[in-house]
Amino acid sequence: MSDGNPDVMATLAGLAEGSPVAELRRQRPDVVRHLQGSDDAIFAPAHHGGFTRPEREGAAKRSSLMSTASPWRPTARRKPISTVCSPPA
- Counting runs of H as helices and runs of E as strands, what totals does the chain give? 5, 0
Q: Is 19 left (phi over 0), alpha (psi -120 to 50) or beta?
A: beta
Identify which of 30, 4, 3, 31 has the alpha carbon closest to the alpha carbon of residue 13: 31
The per-residue pLDDT for 2 is 46
Q: Against a cut of 0.85, is the pTM above it? A: no
DSSP state letter for 50:
T
Do the Cβ atoms of 76 and 70 come closer than 8 Å? Answer: yes
Tell me phi and psi for residue 6, to 5 degrees.
Answer: -70, 145
The tens place of each residue's pLDDT in the chain, 89 residues long, gives 445 567 788 888 888 888 898 888 889 889 888 888 888 887 777 887 888 888 888 887 887 777 666 565 555 445 554 555 555 55
Do the Cβ atoms of 39 and 64 come closer than 8 Å? Answer: no
